[in-house]
C-alpha cells in the first residue's frame, strides 16, 4: 500500500499498537537538574519511551519501490543508523522485506519466507537487527497479510489445483467461485471489511470476482496492483475465514519475529476478508509469544469513523494506533493538525487530541503520528515540535524529501523527549490558559509515574509574541527551561514568556 488515496485504499493504508502499558519506573534526577536521565534500555517497553521511528526499505529505489534505502552491508548500515540516531530517531521500520512485486512498494508478496532476492540472506537481516539493537535502536517491519502477488508461487499452484479440481492447502488460501455474480465471500461490521468514506470511492471497481484463465475460475480481489511493466492487475485476497491461511500467516509472522524484531505493523488489517476478533486474538498471540516488548500496530485501525479507536486497544489488544485523530490524509475534512497550523489557531489541534489521542492513552494504548509536509520551514518545525511534546511517537515514514529527516531544531526536542517521562507516550496532558489562546498553545504534561511535569508553550503565529501563561491553574513555584537551564518565576499568577515566530518554550515544573 502507499501514500496516494488509491494507494492507501489500493494498498498502503500503510501507516498503530496497544497492549497493557507497564507503569513507568522511577528515574533518577540528572545532576544538572535538567530532568531525568534517558531511561534504561529495558526499563520500560521501548515504544513508550521512543522518540521517533523512520521507515526504510532494503530494496533499491525505483518507480515501484520508494522510501529511503537502508543497506544490508554492515559498514554502510552502521553509518546510516548512527546518523539517524544522532538526529533523534531511535527506531527503524523496514518496509516489506520479503520477496515482493511492484504493488504498494512491494507489499504484494511473492514468497513471504524469503528476503527479497539480491538483497542478501535472512542471516544478513538478523545481523541488521542485532546491529540496530547494539545502538539501542528498535526495529520493526511493515507487512501486509491480506493479499498475494499475481505471480506468487502459492497463488500459481492454487490456480493449477483449482483447475484440476483439487482441494489443497494452497487452493484454500484464496476464495474461488465459478460464477462472477456470486455474493462477496464475507460481510463486514463496524471494525472489519470497512470501506473508506472518501468521496468517489466505488467498491465495484476494486472489489469483485476476477476471472483467472489459469484456474478457469473466479478469485476474489479488492486491491488493484501493478504488474511487471506497471500495468493494472487485481491482487488475489487471502481467505482468513478458513483455517488454512491463518495457519500460514502465523508461520510467516513467526519466521520474521524469529529474527529478533521488536514488533510489526500489520497493514490494512481491517480490510482482511474473513478477519474478526477471534482471528485478531490469534494473530496478536503469535507476535507476543516472542520475547521482549513488541510494537503491534493495526494500520488503518481507528481511521474509519465507525470503529471507536479504543476498541483496537481493549478488544484487539494492539499496542498502538496511528493518530488518525490528527490526520486522515485521504480525507480533506479530517486534517486537524494541518488545519490548525495553516490557520495559526491551536483550537482544532487541541480538540483532536482530546477526542482521539487522550482516549486511546487512557485505554492503555499509545499513538504514532506520521510527520506531514507543511511546505514551509517554520510551520514544519512547529508541527514536529508539537508532535514531539504531545505524547505521540513521530514517524518519518513518507518518501518525500521534506519529511525524511527532523526539521532544523527538532532533533534536540526528540532527544529531550527520550529523556523526560512527562513526554513519553504514556504521559497525560491538559491545556492551560494564556492571555492569547487564539494563537498561543500551552499544556501541562504529567508522567505516568508522577515523577515529572512539564509546561509546553507554542506560538502558532509566524510573528514573535509576548504572552502570559495563567499559572493559577498550575501547582508549581519554579519553571526551569529544559533547553537553556534558566529558571523563571511566576508573578501574580502569570508566567511572562517571549516566543519567536513558530517558537516554543519547555519548562520543568518544580513544586
Polymer length of the chain: 511
pLDDT at 224: 94
3-state secondary structure 475-509: CCCEEEECCCCCEECCECCEEEEEECCCCEEEEEE
Query: What are 283's three cell numbers?
Result: 494473530
378-401 pLDDT tens trace = 999 999 999 999 999 999 999 888
pLDDT at 11: 37
431-469 pLDDT tens trace = 999 999 999 999 999 999 999 999 999 999 999 999 999
* CA 142 – CA 368 distance, rounded (Å): 14
pLDDT at 477: 82
Which CA distances in Å does 487 have to 336, 483, 506? 34, 11, 11
DSSP label at 474? S
Phi, psi of 458, deg, nearest 5: -125, 145
147-199 pLDDT tens trace = 999 999 999 999 999 999 999 999 999 999 999 999 999 888 889 987 666 66
> Is 0.85 topped by the overall pTM?
yes
The terminus-to-terminus CA distance of the chain in angstroms comes to 49
pLDDT at 401: 83
pLDDT at 199: 65
pLDDT at 290: 97
Burial letters for 283-306: b for 16+ Cβ neighbours within 10 Å, e otherwise?
bbebbbebeebbbbbbbbbbbbee
- Section 46-68 average pLDDT: 93
User: Residue 412 burial (CB < 10 Å; 0-12/13-18/19+)?
Assistant: middle
Other C-beta atoms closer than 10 Å to the C-beta of 177 total: 14
Q: What DSSP letter does each residue of 241-257 carry, written as one string?
A: TSSHHHHHHHHHHHHHH
* CA 292 – CA 28 distance, rounded (Å): 24
Residue 39 — very low, low, confident or very high, per pLDDT cuts 50/70/90?
very low
404-419 pLDDT tens trace = 999 999 999 999 999 9
User: Residue 426 burial (CB < 10 Å; 0-12/13-18/19+)?
Assistant: buried
* pLDDT surpasses 90 at 200: no
Q: Which CATH superfamily is domain 430-510 in?
A: Golgi alpha-mannosidase II (2.60.40.1180)
Instruction: Tell me the domain boundaries of the chain.
Output: 5-149+241-424, 153-236, 430-510
Query: What are 340's three cell numbers?
Result: 490548525
pLDDT at 416: 97
Which CA distances in Å does 207 have to 124, 218, 219, 408? 38, 12, 11, 44
pLDDT at 360: 98
76-104 pLDDT tens trace = 999 999 999 999 999 999 999 999 999 99
pLDDT at 29: 35
Query: What are 367's three cell numbers?
Result: 499513538
Query: What are 250's three cell numbers?
Result: 502465523
* pLDDT surpasses 80 at 23: no
pLDDT at 442: 98
269-318 pLDDT tens trace = 999 999 999 999 999 999 999 999 999 999 999 998 889 999 999 999 99
The CATH code of the domain at 5-149+241-424 is 3.20.20.80
pLDDT at 7: 41
pLDDT at 330: 85
209-260 pLDDT tens trace = 999 999 999 999 999 999 999 999 999 999 999 999 999 999 999 999 999 9
Amino acid at each position: 500500500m502507499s501514500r496516494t488515496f488509491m494507494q492507501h485504499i489500493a494498498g498502503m493504508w500503510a501507516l498503530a499498537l496497544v497492549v497493557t502499558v507497564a507503569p513507568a519506573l522511577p528515574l533518577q534526577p540528572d545532576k544538572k537538574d535538567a530532568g531525568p536521565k534517558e531511561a534504561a534500555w529495558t526499563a520500560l517497553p521501548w515504544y513508550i519511551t521512543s522518540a521517533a521511528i523512520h521507515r526504510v526499505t532494503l530494496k533499491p529505489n525505483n518507480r515501484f519501490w520508494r522510501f529511503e534505502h537502508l543497506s544490508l552491508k554492515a559498514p554502510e548500515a552502521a553509518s546510516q543508523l548512527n546518523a539517524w540516531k544522532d538526529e533523534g530517531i531511535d527506531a527503524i521500520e523496514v518496509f516489506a522485506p520479503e520477496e515482493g512485486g511492484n504493488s504498494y512498494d512491494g507489499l504484494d508478496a511473492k514468497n513471504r519466507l524469503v528476503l527479497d532476492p539480491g538483497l542478501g540472506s535472512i542471516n544478513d537481516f538478523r545481523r541488521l537487527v542485532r546491529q540496530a539493537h547494539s545502538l539501542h535502536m528498535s526495529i520493526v517491519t511493515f507487512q501486509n497479510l491480506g493479499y498475494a502477488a499475481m505471480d506468487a508461487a502459492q497463488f500459481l499452484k492454487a490456480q493449477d489445483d483449482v483447475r484440476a479440481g483439487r482441494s489443497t492447502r494452497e487452493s484454500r488460501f484464496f476464495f474461488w467461485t465459478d460464477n462472477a455474480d456470486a455474493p462477496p465471500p464475507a460481510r463486514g461490521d463496524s471494525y472489519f471489511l470497512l470501506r473508506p468514506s472518501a468521496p468517489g470511492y466505488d467498491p465495484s471497481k476494486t472489489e469483485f470476482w476476477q476471472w483467472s484463465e489459469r484456474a478457469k475460475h473466479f478469485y476474489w480481489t479488492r486491491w488493484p496492483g501493478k504488474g511487471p511493466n506497471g500495468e493494472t492487475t487485481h491482487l488475489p485476497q487471502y481467505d482468513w475465514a478458513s483455517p488454512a491461511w491463518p495457519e500460514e500467516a502465523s508461520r510467516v509472522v513467526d519466521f520474521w519475529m524469529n529474527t529478533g524484531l521488536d514488533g510489526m505493523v500489520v497493514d490494512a488489517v481491517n480490510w482482511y476478508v474473513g478477519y474478526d476478533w477471534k482471528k485478531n486474538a490469534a494473530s496478536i498471540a503469535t507476535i507476543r509469544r516472542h520475547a521482549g516488548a513488541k510494537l503491534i500496530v493495526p494500520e488503518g485501525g481507528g481511521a474509519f469513523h465507525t470503529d471507536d479507536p479504543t476498541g483496537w486497544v481493549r478488544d484487539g489488544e494492539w499496542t498502538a494506533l496511528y493518530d488518525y485523530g490528527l490526520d486522515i490524509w485521504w480525507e480533506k475534512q479530517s486534517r486537524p493538525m494541518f488545519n490548525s497550523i495553516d490557520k495559526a489557531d491551536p483550537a482544532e489541534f487541541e480538540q483532536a487530541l482530546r477526542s482521539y489521542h487522550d482516549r486511546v492513552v487512557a485505554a492503555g494504548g499509545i499513538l504514532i503520528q506520521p510527520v506531514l509536509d507543511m511546505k514551509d520551514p517554520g510551520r514544519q518545525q512547529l508541527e514536529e515540535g508539537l508532535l514531539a511534546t504531545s505524547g505521540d511517537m513521530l514517524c518519518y515514514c513518507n518518501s518525500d524529501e521534506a519529511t525524511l529527516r527532523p526539521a532544523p531544531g527538532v532533533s534536540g526536542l526528540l532527544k529531550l523527549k527520550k529523556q523526560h517521562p512527562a513526554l513519553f507516550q504514556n504521559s497525560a496532558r491538559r491545556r492551560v490558559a494564556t492571555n492569547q489562546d487564539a494563537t498561543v498553545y500551552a499544556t501541562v504534561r504529567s508522567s505516568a509515574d508522577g515523577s515529572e511535569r512539564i509546561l509546553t508553550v507554542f506560538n502558532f503565529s509566524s510573528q514573535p509574541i509576548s504572552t502570559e501563561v495563567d499559572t493559577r491553574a498550575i501547582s508549581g513555584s519554579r519553571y526551569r527551561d529544559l533547553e537553556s537551564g534558566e529558571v523563571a518565576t511566576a508573578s501574580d499568577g502569570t508566567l511572562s514568556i517571549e516566543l519567536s515566530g513558530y517558537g516554543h518554550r519547555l519548562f520543568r515544573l518544580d513544586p
